[in-house]
Amino acid sequence: MIEKILNEITLKVWRQKNATAKGAFETYTVKNISTDTSFMEMLDILNYQLVEEGKDPIAFDHDCREGICGTCSLFINGRAHGPDNDITTCQLHMRKFKDGETITIEPWRGTAFPVTKDLIVDRNAFEKILYAGGFVSVNTGGVPDGNAIPIGYDESESAMDAAACIGCGACVATCKNSSAMLFVSAKVSHLARLPQGKVEAVKRAKSMVAKMDELGFGGCSNTGACEIECPKGISIASIAKLNREYLTAKFME
Amino acid sequence: MTVLNSKIPKGPLAEKWSEHKAKINVVSPANKRKLDVIVVGTGLAGASAAASLAELGYNVKAFCYQDSPRRAHSIAAQGGINASKNYQNDNDSVYRLFYDTIKGGDYRAREGNVYRLAEVSGSIIDQCVAQGVPFGREYGGLLANRSFGGVLVSRTFYARGQTGQQLLIGAYGALNRQISTGKVELFSRHEMLDIVKIDGKARGIVARDMVSGEVKKYGAHAVVIATGGYGNVFFLSTNAMGCNGGAAWQSYKRGAYMSNPCFVQIHPTCIPVHGDQQSKLTLMSESLRNDGRIWVPKKKEDAEKLQKGEIGPNDIAEEDRDFYLERRYPSYGNLVPRDVASRAAKERCDAGFGVNNTGLAVYLDFKYSIERLGKDVIEARYGNLFQMYEKITDVNPYGEPMQIYPAIHYTMGGTWVDYNLMTTIPGLYSIGEANFSDHGGNRLGASALMQGLADGYFVLPYTIGDYLANEIQTPKIDTNAPEFEEVAKDVKNRLDTLMAIKGTKPVDYFHKKLGKVMWDYVGMSRNAKGLQKAIELIAEIKTEFWADVRVPGEQNELNQELEKAGRVADFIDMADLMARDALARNESCGGHYREESVTEEGEAMRNDEIGCYASAWEFKGEKEEPHMHKEELKFETVELTQRSYK
Ligand SMILES: Cc1cc2nc3c(=O)[nH]c(=O)nc-3n(C[C@H](O)[C@H](O)[C@H](O)COP(=O)(O)OP(=O)(O)OC[C@H]3O[C@@H](n4cnc5c(N)ncnc54)[C@H](O)[C@@H]3O)c2cc1C
Ligand code: SF4
Ligand code: FES
């Protein structure tokens, strides 16, 4: 597609000084934005402008800007990661917007993800869920040769599908129950599908789900909204896999 | 005069590491429990080190500037990780991996270090498999390999186009396991701003809590820097926005020498710059060169039409395409090392054969491999990269060749370390991309992940014991000691100064300006006059920065402009040292191309008479010129030849 210039865009942005302050929307305009500009570059331009005007720039989370680190986390026009499919916010480009459009930008919402400042949220709850067992319990050294246990191509590929989760939290932000089920199930099924992770699969599922409940994430009512907004195409089939591991756990109690 | 002791063990190359391990000190489990180690950085190097040290019993404090260790920039590595497993039966071996790395680095790395790297490479793969890394596999269930540039065997292990992500998730899992047991205490969103020395030894760090803005002190018996590379000196690079050279630079200012800062890798296959609003460049993995063919038009008029947008790539007939890498380098073809491929692209574009509106792009074409293997196979191999390309450029690479151009990607230079990975400050270690150790003048593809994990899993956990064995009597480090107060005061003063300037220009203004100077004069092609000019221009930028930067907001809150200001201040200083190092090295080698040192055909010409050294710069004070020490590189095993990929 050919580059075009968007003459003017209006932005309604959530501003909140810190975790305890009360937030509110503020309105800004940016001008002459190329459609080849990424959404985050558009925010850079706005922030540059704000600093020049002696105002406080908008705080937003980002790092790799290529869709892999999972840092970026904006809720744009009512959609996690904005109006495009299978992408993170940093991969969104201005060609998805029309000249003169008003764009609403909010942080992830959900009790388990409190706002830190403006558009930045605290996703520590995800870390805590992983501490509860999101790993294979092996130390460095003393492991068998990489080819000692053959793993079928399909098994390995489906483990990879689940392992692609970037921990961004879009699934939670999208879910009306603020459930972390897609995130948890992605980790559980990544590891349960491999012989190395299988050993602890049942225990892992049980303790990660318990932690998730404890941290105030809601329950999963299978609406499937998470799957649609997940930038990495994590499928709710993972949730079914988790449920199987989890039922086994319950069964064995 | 030179104080450098690389501590390379004596004896035959293949026995150095085992001999060394046998001789160095070991700390007993009971004593390990009494010793604290700080690891700054949670990328592949830092996470693997922190986890392994904690498993051994040390008490570890780990730091990262992101909100989670999983977001370290190692996550973005796409193509793969090398190991000399010889699973393909193509006559690979530890020696061959060692030799390829030394040669690829244009004979500017230490033999001893590189051999050790090759030696432990196999164990890395085993470790990662045990952690549940879903490497690509063959139908029979065994691990699959692909080829990378600069080698003739197939030894690169991969997890689709997300190898770094999967390796990091493995290391992060190991780290999380140690966090859950309490052996690692994690400080995310904490930026190290200085190191603290007591009686000459590294004893801790001062870091800023990036949420509250509080400046805090942390003590330990040893400190490990694993903070990655400084490619962002150039503003535009494939690095993440937050990648910085700060920790390495602060260490330098406290006495850790900086080695080969001018050795920067320019990656040939990145998405070209689209305009002046661009914030970063995106890599298209080197693995694509396995199946993509690089070309530009043979005829100038075709190139001109492409530049004007009058025709598209598919309008150019087969016989009018110049596959210039295959033409110039028939034996390696599209898989020549990165520095060679980058310069060849620049040469064609400078000659007027660039294919986009800026004239700074060449084609990477998958048409041929799609015809040969089918679209499904290509999609399975590179699907996520193709998607990434399409999202950025709005062009479908299954139907039209990708446009690519070289971009800053990796820094071979870094903190000088000895064989034990210790810097010139006792008790301060540097691992991963942050150190200079293994890649010489040019890093081969898929070798950074290997090095980061080698350092973290299999080298540092042994070598740090040698130092800590002498520290078992040292009590817990008291962070109320005057040395800590002093450094904390320096850090606060600097933050105060940055806030107080209240100038007129945002930080990015300076960063972009610096980046342009670096790209123009300290980039792909360098000469003495340009480098001298760069040194002057950098000094001007420095003066302007400290007089006119505007940092809004408060210090005691989350303040992203303040974070950036500190990093850019360090980049400016670092840029100066890079230019000096490039000026001092009056030869071409690896990624360092000096126009004064080329063959008649324009290929880089190394000069072993003057260039067989690793520079090690010593900080002499803010107002003084830095002093360069030289570590002479001795080659006992390989014979130095001009690299040829023809
Ligand atoms: C796009 C891309 C693709 C790549 N692909 C490949 C590949 O296919 N194969 C390959 O071998 N190599 C590849 N590389 C190179 C490789 O990824 C890196 O060299 C390597 O991952 C660096 O790892 P590291 O652990 O040294 O540093 P990083 O992963 O960069 O980690 C740095 C850590 O330090 C922390 N940090 C930095 N500064 C501070 C501070 N002041 N205070 C506190 N914490 C700090 C960060 O938070 C982070 O945790 C690629 C690089 C890029 C950019
Ligand atoms: S499951 Fe998808 S949406 Fe949820 S954290 Fe992972 S990548 Fe993000
Ligand atoms: S910034 Fe890394 S995924 Fe968006």
Percent of chain A with pLDDT over 70: 98
Cβ–Cβ of B68/A167 closer than 8 Å?
yes
| Domain B268-409, CATH class in plain words | alpha beta
* CATH level 2 (architecture), domain B482-612: Up-down Bundle (1.20)
**In the beta sheet, which residues pair with residue B448?**
none
In one-letter notation, the amino acid at residue A50 is L
Q: pLDDT digits over B90-131, tens only?
A: 999 999 999 999 999 999 999 999 999 999 999 999 999 999
Tokens 């039409």, residue located: B305
Q: How far apart are the first and last CA of chain A?
A: 58
Pairwise CA distance, residues B50 & B62, whole Å: 7
- Measured between alpha carbons, how far is residue B301 from residues B298, B306, B339, B524 in Å? 9, 9, 28, 27
- Domain CATH code at residue A98: 3.10.20.30
**B408: its two tokens:** 């800053």
Q: Tell me which of A244-253, B117-126, B141-150, B542-551 is least confident.
A: A244-253
CA B637 from centroid of its chain's CA atoms: 27
Cβ neighbours of B242 in A, within 8 Å: 63
Please give the residue of chain B at the shortest CA–CA distance from A122.
B67
- Ligand 1 contacts (CB < 6 A) are B 40-46, 63-66, 72-74, 76-81, 163-164, 191-192, 226-228, 238-239, 243-244, 246-247, 283, 285, 409-410, 432-434, 446-449, 452
> Sign of the C-alpha dihedral, residues B70, B195, B433, B274?
positive
Centre of ligand 1 to C-alpha B493, Å, is 29
Q: Which domain holds residue A242?
A: 123-251
Nearest atom (ligand 2) to Cα of A233: 2
Residues contacting residue A100 through CB under 8 Å, at least 6 positions apart: A7, A8, A9, A10
Q: pLDDT digits over B57-74, tens only?
A: 999 999 999 999 999 999
Number of Cβ within a 10 Å radius of residue A109? 16
Residue A199 contacts B where some CB pair is shorter than 8 Å: no
Asked if A95 and A150 sit in the same domain, the reply is no
Residue A211 contacts B where some CB pair is shorter than 8 Å: no
Longest dimension (CA), chain A: 64
In one-letter notation, the amino acid at residue A128 is K
Pairwise CA distance, residues B11 & B169, whole Å: 38
Cβ neighbours of B561 in A, within 8 Å: 51, 57
- Domain CATH code at residue A154: 1.10.1060.10
Rounded mean pLDDT of B519-540?
97
Does residue B85 contact residue B126 with C-beta atoms inside 8 Å?
A: no
Pairwise CA distance, residues B629 & B618, whole Å: 7
- Ligand 2 contacts (CB < 6 A) are A 165-171, 182-183, 186, 230-232, 234
CA B179 from centroid of its chain's CA atoms: 27
Residue B135 contacts A where some CB pair is shorter than 8 Å: yes
Question: Which phi and psi angles does A9 have, rounded to 5°?
Answer: -130, 135
To the nearest whole Å, the CA of B525 is away from the closest chain A CA by 27
A117, A148, A164 — which closes off a domain?
A117
Q: pLDDT digits over B328-367, tens only?
A: 999 999 999 888 999 999 999 999 999 999 999 999 999 9
Residue A142 contacts B where some CB pair is shorter than 8 Å: no
Centre of ligand 2 to C-alpha B138, Å, is 28
pLDDT band at A251 (very low <50, low <70, confident <90, very high): low
Cβ neighbours of A166 in B, within 8 Å: 75, 165
Cβ neighbours of A17 in B, within 8 Å: 557
**B27: its two tokens:** 């700390």
Query: In chain B, where are the structural domains located?
Result: 268-409, 482-612
Number of separate domains in chain A: 2
Q: pLDDT digits over B230-273, tens only?
A: 999 999 999 999 999 999 999 999 999 999 999 999 999 999 99
Tokens 């092996």, residue located: A138
> Sign of the C-alpha dihedral, residues B166, B168, B174, B180?
negative
**In the beta sheet, which residues pair with residue B294?**
B364
Give 3-state DSSP helix, strand, coil % of chain B, rounded to 5. 45, 15, 40
Residue A233 contacts B where some CB pair is shorter than 8 Å: no
Does residue A171 contact residue A220 with C-beta atoms inside 8 Å?
A: no
A117, A138, A158 — which closes off a domain?
A117
Q: pLDDT digits over B462-513, tens only?
A: 999 999 999 999 999 999 999 999 999 999 999 999 999 999 999 999 999 9
A60, A88, A117 — which closes off a domain?
A117
Please determine, for residue A252, whether its predicted confidence score (pLDDT) is greater than 70. no
Asked if A138 and A83 sit in the same domain, the reply is no
Pairwise CA distance, residues A216 & B211, whole Å: 23
Nearest atom (ligand 3) to Cα of A166: 3
pLDDT at A73: 97
Cβ–Cβ of B123/A141 closer than 8 Å?
yes
Number of Cβ within a 10 Å radius of residue B48? 36
Nearest to B394 among A1, A64, A127 (CB): A1
Asked if A133 and A241 sit in the same domain, the reply is yes
Asked if A132 and A243 sit in the same domain, the reply is yes
Cβ–Cβ of B557/A18 closer than 8 Å?
yes
Percent of chain B with pLDDT over 70: 100
Judged by phi (left if over 0) then psi (alpha if -120 to 50, else beta), residue A216 lies in left
Task: Look over chain B and give the mean of its residue pLDDT values, rounded to a whole number.
Answer: 96
pLDDT at B382: 87
Interface A–B counts its CB contacts (< 8 A) at 221
Tokens 């246990």, residue located: A149
Pairwise CA distance, residues B170 & B187, whole Å: 19
Residue B159 contacts A where some CB pair is shorter than 8 Å: yes
pLDDT band at B602 (very low <50, low <70, confident <90, very high): confident
Q: pLDDT digits over B202-227, tens only?
A: 999 999 999 999 999 999 999 999 99
pLDDT at B1: 44
User: Which ligand ends up closest to the CA of B289?
Assistant: 1
Q: Which of B400, B322, B341 is closest to B365 using CA atoms?
A: B400
Asked if A62 and A45 sit in the same domain, the reply is yes
Asked if A111 and A221 sit in the same domain, the reply is no
- Residue of B82, B560, B562 to mutate, interface with A, max A Cβ within 10 Å: B560
